[in-house]
Structure 1
Amino acid sequence: MKDHQFILVDYLVKHFSGTLSQTDLQSLQKIFEDDPTLRDQWEKYISQGVKSSDAQFWSNLDLDQARTKILTYEPTRSAIRSVSNARIRNLQIYVGIAASLLIFIGIALFVNLSDRDKQIVADQVYHYKNDVLPGGQKATLTLSNGQTVELSQEQATLREQHGEQLRITDGQLYYKPNSAQAELATLKNTLTVPASGFYRMVLPDGTKVWVNSASELSYPLAFGKSIRKVELRGEAYFEVAHEKNRPFLVSTAHGDIKVLGTAFNLRAYNSAASNVTLINGSIQLTNKNKTTKQIIPGQKVEFDGHDMRISQANIEKEIAWQQGYFYFEHDRIQDIMEQLARWYDIHVIYQGPITKKTFGGSISRSVSLAEALELIKRGAGVEFTIDKKTVTVNKNK
């Protein structure tokens, strides 16, 4: 039985490194016939186990050395307890096959993955070199004293200077107003959302904000008496709490948006221009040249430091990210890949002439990168390769 377990480990390593041959499969069938319980363990492991797309890692595992160590040494309970609870939960899937040896492999794999990007996984369907998982809800909050806190969906309560309370509930950051302390208006927080992330929050005045990937929002712990001002770099969707005598101002690199109570999407990355789309209410836009325009719901303004261009907006397209999907409408491949680059945190390379063909359609932001690329390439006339987090775009021949 022990020999069969050790042989099964060899085949598992071959499976994950992509070197399992037809002869190996025949040998496996014989092992399963001799001991049907090993078939169950094999299937459970390959379906639930931690998988590595790095064949070199699996190929470099020294199983002979591991066997020698394990046959002469049995880990103590205290040694096993020293592994974190999270790791033990993941390593339990190894124990049913060959306990000590698989724990050795498991620890080696976790050490290896600690230096790797956990978004990179094996591609099981589309035959890319690897796949990349989609982004999720995550951000970093910089408090007024410079301390940084990693945010996720887990419930938590934080405290700022002067006892201001911040809490995370249902994956959303809330501020408990404390208007009695005027000094709070001089204290700033900054919410930084990395590539492959997004986050939701409610500002001290009740304004709701959805912050997209690779974006940064700065705001005071309490707004002043005459104006509510925040600063945005990146993209965010705002539902502004209505206050007739205290307008809400969003400052960007290309201009300021002034509102009373409304919903709008603002994209203000460090590119040639920004744009704002009004969903309802009213906004006034002032660019760096002090030119001012007011738009009505359903309109979109592209603006930089000099010009402003008003057009009719496709509301569904502009706020699709906030609803959890990509929406493309006659979009160039460069614009499509720019959105994917932020959500999957990838680097995009174009090889050869860039196609002029445009693409339309919608894709859930919950799918893996490989699935998204497969959907796009059918209509955009391109081919893709994935190498870790680098995607190469080739025009179809």
Structure 2
Amino acid sequence: MVEKDASKLLDKYYENKCSQEEIFMIESWYFHMAGTIEHEIDEALVESICKEIWDNINPDRKKKVISLYRVAAAAAVLVLVLGSLWYFNDHEKGTLPLGIERMPVINKAILELADGREIYMDSTSQFQIATQEGVIKAKEGTLIYPLAALSDDSVYSKNKLTVPLGGKYQITLPDGSTVYLNAGSSLTYSTKFSRKERSVKLEGEGYFEIVKDISRPFKVNCASQIVRVLGTHFNVSCYPGELVKTTLLEGKVKISLTSKSPQKDKILDPNQQAILSGQDSIIISKVNAEDVILWKDGSFVFSQTPIIEAFRQISRSYNVAVDYNSLPKDIKLEGCSRENVPLSELLKQLSDNIGTTLVLKGDTIKAETKSIR
């Protein structure tokens, strides 16, 4: 992006004509600059421009008209920082600048507040938002809610945290519990939990570390099941079109089906995994639970994993498409990768594993028809 393009983008922002992707870029620039003002352009000017953008993010504040000089200066700064924020634009579409290696998950997410406002966050985001329940903070890839008093209200404000493909994010809930969200996931939750229970809705994958509270069970609603706990550590994967898997690391969890199935509730012990097959059957097996949550650290562990399932994980983590028809059939993968391995290195490792050359063409992983053996 050249300075002229950056200036036009800022003009569109102040005229409320930006697309969601453009808003994401501008506001991410704000959060980046607010915490790291280390450029040659006058710091006071940059801080003033950041304030203008913050006023635009917060509709309750009076908007001001930015001068042409400050637009030009903002455009100059924007050109400097957009290179480091490429993943909020081209990376969202799966396209990387030439010469940049594709890496797995980056800390980024979108917070949707109860009033409809959306806040775009990355690992550099540091801000505070005042709400009726207290001050919400973002710091170093983590969204932190204030510990809230118990509520007797029947209606609670709902927030939603969405992690795009190629991302991950961490949140501390109002009861102090921590949730790690994987790529392509979302969590809907109350800003204040009731006296009877703590309930959230998960789409995608999340690892939960729940604060123990015997008087208020914690419920995770996902797909066709409900996971109930008092205080424990567990992982739930419930991506659309895939098997729903619940894995326990410590404590106990109870799994119930939402359908009118004769299937009885299931209780999991540590290192057990429950797989929801269809709408009315739960199968329990023994696993190494620590391996299941290594996605938090950017690693992959495959243990007799069907190749289609493995590449679904890779597709989400690296934000790439996969030509599943080109993959060899009936192959199960075995092995693990180091943390945050570049995609090119992972594809080479998997190519050696399955005996077929895997390549990235454009933004799509394909298996070459010619065997490497």
State TM-score, norm by structure 2: 0.72
Amino acid at match of 1:337: F
Does the CA contact (< 8 Å) of 1:184 and 1:221 recur in 2?
Answer: no
**Structure 1 residues 58-101: Cα deviation after superposition (integer angstroms, max 9, x where no partner):** xxxxxxxxxxxxxxxxxxx999846421424799xxxxxxxxxx
**Structure 1 residues 315-369: Cα deviation after superposition (integer angstroms, max 9, x where no partner):** 1321110233111122232122111100111111135572433322211352222
Against the structure 1 CA distance between its residues 114 and 309, is the aligned structure 2 distance closer, same or farther, given a 3 Å change threshold?
Answer: closer
Equivalent-residue separation in structure 1 for 2:293 and 2:229 (angstroms): 18
Equivalent-residue separation in structure 2 for 1:178 and 1:387 (angstroms): 49
Against the structure 1 CA distance between its residues 377 and 177, is the aligned structure 2 distance closer, same or farther, given a 3 Å change threshold?
Answer: same
**Structure 1 residues 102-123: Cα deviation after superposition (integer angstroms, max 9, x where no partner):** xxxxxxxx99x97675851445
Q: Considering fraction of residues, name the structure with more helix.
A: 1
For structure 1, the residue ranges without an aligned partner over 5 or more in a row are 1-76, 92-109, 125-130
1:364 corresponds to: 338
Does the CA contact (< 8 Å) of 2:297 and 2:339 recur in 1?
Answer: no
Equivalent-residue separation in structure 1 for 2:154 and 2:129 (angstroms): 16
1:297 corresponds to: 270
Does the CA contact (< 8 Å) of 1:172 and 1:199 recur in 2?
Answer: yes
Superposition pairs for residues 228-247 of structure 1, below 5 Å? Answer: 228-247=198-217
Q: In structure 1, which of residues 204, 210, 213 is the aligned counterpart of residue 180 of structure 2? A: 210
Against the structure 1 CA distance between its residues 318 and 114, is the aligned structure 2 distance closer, same or farther, given a 3 Å change threshold?
Answer: closer
- DSSP-derived class of the 1:145 partner: coil
> Which one has a bigger Cα radius of gyration?
1
Amino acid at match of 1:120: L
Percent of pairs with identical residues? 26
Is 1:84 paired with 2:76? Answer: yes
Equivalent-residue separation in structure 1 for 2:189 and 2:225 (angstroms): 17
Is 1:271 paired with 2:209? Answer: no
2:105 corresponds to: 135
Does the CA contact (< 8 Å) of 1:353 and 1:395 recur in 2?
Answer: no
- The more displaced of 191-200 and 80-89 is 80-89
Does the CA contact (< 8 Å) of 2:234 and 2:248 recur in 1?
Answer: yes
Amino acid at match of 1:284: K
2:255 corresponds to: 285
Q: In structure 2, which of residues 203, 225, 237 is the aligned counterpart of residue 255 of structure 1? A: 225
Count of residues in correspondence between the two structures: 295
State TM-score, norm by structure 1: 0.68
Does the CA contact (< 8 Å) of 1:324 and 1:366 recur in 2?
Answer: yes
Does the CA contact (< 8 Å) of 2:111 and 2:159 recur in 1?
Answer: yes
Does the CA contact (< 8 Å) of 2:231 and 2:251 recur in 1?
Answer: yes
**Structure 1 residues 116-167: Cα deviation after superposition (integer angstroms, max 9, x where no partner):** 758514458xxxxxx533330000011011111101222211123x253100
Does the CA contact (< 8 Å) of 2:127 and 2:139 recur in 1?
Answer: yes
Q: In structure 2, which of residues 361, 365, 369 is the aligned counterpart of residue 387 of structure 1? A: 361
Does the CA contact (< 8 Å) of 1:132 and 1:369 recur in 2?
Answer: yes
Amino acid at match of 1:388: G
2:305 corresponds to: 331
Equivalent-residue separation in structure 2 for 1:89 and 1:297 (angstroms): 46
1:178 corresponds to: 148
Amino acid at match of 1:263: H
Equivalent-residue separation in structure 2 for 1:365 and 1:119 (angstroms): 22
Equivalent-residue separation in structure 2 for 1:275 and 1:309 (angstroms): 10
For structure 2, the residue ranges without an aligned partner over 5 or more in a row are 1-68
Q: In structure 1, which of residues 378, 383, 392 is the aligned counterpart of residue 352 of structure 2? A: 378
Equivalent-residue separation in structure 2 for 1:352 and 1:210 (angstroms): 33
2:26 corresponds to: none
Equivalent-residue separation in structure 2 for 1:269 and 1:199 (angstroms): 17
Does the CA contact (< 8 Å) of 2:138 and 2:144 recur in 1?
Answer: yes
2:25 corresponds to: none
Is 1:187 paired with 2:165? Answer: no
Question: Aligned-pair RMSD on alpha carbons?
Answer: 2.8
